Each structure stands twice: as C-alpha cells, then as structure tokens.
Amino acid sequence: MTDQALQSRSSYEHSKNKILSLAPSDNPRNWPTWKKWVLVSSIILVDLTVSWGASGFSPASTKFAKDFEVSSEIGTLGLSIYVAGLALGPMSLAPLSEYFGRTPLYIIPYGCFLLFLLGTALVQNLGGFLVLRFLSGLFSSVTIANFGGTIADLWDVRHTGIAMSLFLWAATCGSPSGYFLMSWVAQYRGWRDVFWALLGICGGSWIIMSVTLLSCGETRHSVLLLRHVKAERRRTGRDDLEVPEEMRRRGIRQLFKIALTRPFRFLFSEAIVIFAALYNGYLYGLSFLFNGAFSVIFGPSGKGFETYQVGLTFLGIVVGISLGPLTNLWQERYYQKRIQRAGGKNIPEARVQLGQIAAVMFPISLFIFAFTSYVWLSWVGPVIASGLWGWSFYVLILMTYTYIEDSYGEFSASALAAVGLARNAAGAGFPLFGEQMFVNEGYQYAGLILACLALVLMPIPFILGRYGLKLRQKSPWARQMMEHEGQSENQSDEEAIQDEEKVGH
C-alpha cells in the first residue's frame, strides 16, 4: 500500500472516531482570576531565584578564587558555566511537558537543582564545582522552558501582556538583585555561605511553588484533554474516542528532533528572530558583564567601595527595570487600541512603540555611564545611568518577546528557544572578558565601546515597526499566523494600515 493510501486510510479511520474537546469548566483559561495570579506569582518568585543562582555567586568570586588558588578569570567561570546551563536546559526540558505536563517539569528539575546547589556548597575541588554549577544552571532553567507556555495556557494571545511583563521583570531583575542580596553575605562570610543562603531562599521558593502548582492543578491543555479521553475510555469502554489532531502526542523522537533542530533553523533563517537574538544576546551579556565591571568601577581600585557597597550600586538597575512594567501599561493600552481599531486582527507591530524609545535610551545611558565613571566623580552619575539602562533593557526584552509571540503563534516556542539560546550564550561569554576590558581599556573607553555597539542595534525596533509585516509575509511560519488575520500574502504595509482605518471607521 502506498504512503498516500495509508494516509487516506488513516484519515478515514480518524473521521469515524469521536473527537472530544476540553470542557469549559476544565479549561485553565476559565479559572478565576485570583487562581491564575496565585499560580503565576509562585512561578515568578522561582524565576527570580534562577537568576539569583547565577549572579549571587559574583560578589563571592574573589574569595572563591583565593580559596582555590586560581585566577580571577577562573573564578568568573562559576557565573559563566551556570548561564551556559541555562542556555541548554530549555531545549531538553521544554519538550517533556508534552508527555508529563507542566507541573512535574517545574517541581522535579528544580528539586534536582536544589541538590546540586547543596553539592556546590560542600564540594572540595574545582572540577566538581564547575560540573555542579553547570548542572545547577541546566536544571534551574524550568521557568525559561515552561513559563511562556503556562501564560499561553491561562490567557489567550490578546491578554498575555501583563503576565508576560511581570515574568520578564523577574527574568531581567534577577541578575542585579541577586548580586545586591548576596553581596551582604559575601562581605562578612565565605563563598560557601553564599550557596547556603541561596539554598535556603531557593528551597523556600520551591516549597511555595510546589504547593501552589499541586493545589491549582495542571495547565497544559493537551495533557488535560488526553487525561480526560483516557478517563472516558475507561468509563465507557469505547476505543474510538480521540483528541483533535493538533493536541495529539507526538513521538518522543520527533518531539526532540523538532526541539533540538527547529530553533537553529529560526536562528539562521528568520530575520525577526535574528534581530531579537542580537538584542537579547547583547542586553543579557551586558547584564552579566556588569557584575565584573561594577566591581572594578566602584570597588577598591575604583571609587573605593566595599563588597556590600558595590552591591548597593546595582539598585540603580533594579529601580530602572522595575519602572518597566509600569511604563508598559501605556504600551499595553496602545496595543489594545490598535487591535480594536483593526477589528481584533493580530498586529505585532503595535508592540514596538515603547521599544523605539528604549532603543534610543539604550546607547544614551551607556554614554552617560562611560563619561561619569571617572574615579574622581561622584558615584551618583553611573548609578543613574545604570538605572536608565535597566529601563531600556527591560523594555527591549519585553518588546522582542511579545513581538515574536504575536508573529509566530504556535511556532513561537521554537522561535523563543532560538532567542534564549543566543541570549544565554552571550550571558555566559560576556563576563569572561568584561572585567579585563574595563581594566585594560579604561572605564571610559570600555563604556564607549559598549555604547557604540548599542548604536548599531538601535534601528531594529524601527525596522520592525516599518517593515515587520513584510518580514512576516516572507516567513513560512509567520505567514501561517497571518492566514487567519485577514491579511493576504501580498498585502503591503500601506494596505494593511488602510484596512485597519476602515475597520476603525
């Protein structure tokens, strides 16, 4: 029998089966609002601790290097190799949620992370320490792997903005706040005590998340429906009950093949993903590079601060990032007005307006940082500049995430995995040369180099705003999303805008 005949026969057999759907009462999108936010809040807390596990080590890296009698560059590996684990973890963890659901994929890997964190506090040799740090990053990446899917489980694409903004606040604020918190431990205690402190904080967060997830229940729609179908088969004795085609479980081999290969296809062929990866990589690279740069600029060789005082300077970035969700309320209102004018059509380009302002602020903040980092100047200048940078950091990351989600729909997981891989690869690499660059090039020249690179990236939000529709039309994945939005493949930007205005009138 030919492949075509087999496929036709399979389609005919499926047509005879009864297709079940998720009952409204079982759909997590119909949960009470308070229940959704209780669940999301517990995961946001854990998402913060994921970054604390990375940057929390940085204030203690000098004591670690002295204890193991290694160079400061080797000491920095404790940060970089953890972030490398964060880069690779989602590609192996995310596909498993299709089989086991999201709840076990939050609880079990993060529980393993706690064991590796315990080992890190006790390990007696450098090789074991580095292995444990990599495994810690790998298994702590549960929020990166699952949280985007959890938000999609709980809200439709038009109403994910607020939840996504808070998730990304935790993802971006974790690095500077982790340095700030652990700098107090590193000031007065040894590097092992930093890991004991992290173990206590992360362990408490894990308990809160686990109790909340188990109380609220599973959120992944396909897993819930498969469970319902199995229960109905047992109850009725019928074998012809099925789930819709798009919710059927794929083979484990196919699942991992897609998870491990498709992100690279996005990363090397999709202009939108390439733009997002460049911005995410550079921004996250800087966020971890600052761990070393701040210790040089504000530390004993710079403005003469002690460890905990260097930690206090990171509050500038924390404040800047924390203003991001507040200013995003304006961006969200603008977005909702645009899609209402367009009759509910999907308009990813309505996500970039605040990002265009942040793209200009990004290099400006780095120029200010460079010119105020002289030893004889007050610490206030670079801290204010870092706050402006923190705001632009958050807004640009949020812009790229929401633009990709709106553009690629069901394929956004692969697109975001590609961006995440580039982001964390840069986050792992930048700290290895950041401190040396500020020492060797001087604070001002190092800051100017970073600012000039930011200038190169500045046009990206403007390109997305002006030519984003054309880029989506050229993408085989994004084009599938457009088929349901009333925009033809050959429609121009001007025609799309005219359609929106007609609908608005």
Tell me, what CATH number does 49's domain have?
1.20.1250.20
Cβ count within 10 A of residue 33? 8
Q: What is the DSSP string of 276-330?
A: HHHHHHHHHHHHHHHHHHHHHHTSTTTT---HHHHHHHTHHHHHHHHHHHHHHHH
Same domain, 299 and 172: no
Same domain, 376 and 480: yes
Same domain, 196 and 132: yes
Q: For 95-245, where are the E strands, in sequence order?
A: 241-242
The residue assigned the tokens 């040799």 is: 125
Residue 40 lies in a domain: yes
Residue 247 lies in a domain: no
- Domain end residue (candidates: 172, 203, 226): 226
Residue 234 lies in a domain: no
Same domain, 215 and 360: no
Residue 384 lies in a domain: yes
Residue 170 lies in a domain: yes
Same domain, 426 and 350: yes
- Domain end residue (candidates: 226, 246, 269): 226
505 residues of the chain, pLDDT tens digit each: 433 433 433 443 444 566 556 667 778 999 999 999 999 999 999 999 999 999 999 999 989 999 998 988 888 899 999 999 998 888 888 788 878 888 999 999 999 999 999 999 999 999 999 999 999 999 999 998 888 888 888 998 778 888 989 999 999 999 999 999 999 999 999 999 999 999 999 999 999 999 999 999 999 888 887 777 776 666 676 666 565 555 565 667 777 777 778 888 899 999 999 999 999 999 999 999 999 899 889 988 888 899 999 999 999 999 999 999 999 999 989 998 988 888 878 889 999 999 999 999 999 999 999 999 888 889 999 999 999 999 999 999 999 999 998 898 778 878 888 898 899 899 999 988 888 888 888 888 999 999 999 999 999 999 999 999 999 999 898 888 777 555 544 444 444 444 444 433 3
Residue 13 lies in a domain: no
Same domain, 262 and 170: no
Question: Whole-prediction pTM value?
Answer: 0.87
* Number of domains within the chain: 2
Same domain, 194 and 324: no
Helix (H) or strand (E) holding 19: strand 18-19
Helix (H) or strand (E) holding 18: strand 18-19
Nearest-10 Cα torsion for 474, 261, 147, 463:
-30
Residue 472 lies in a domain: yes
- Domain end residue (candidates: 226, 249, 279): 226
Same domain, 308 and 163: no
Domain limits for position 405: 258-505
Same domain, 154 and 57: yes
Residue 17 lies in a domain: no
Same domain, 139 and 76: yes
Same domain, 207 and 337: no
Same domain, 430 and 310: yes
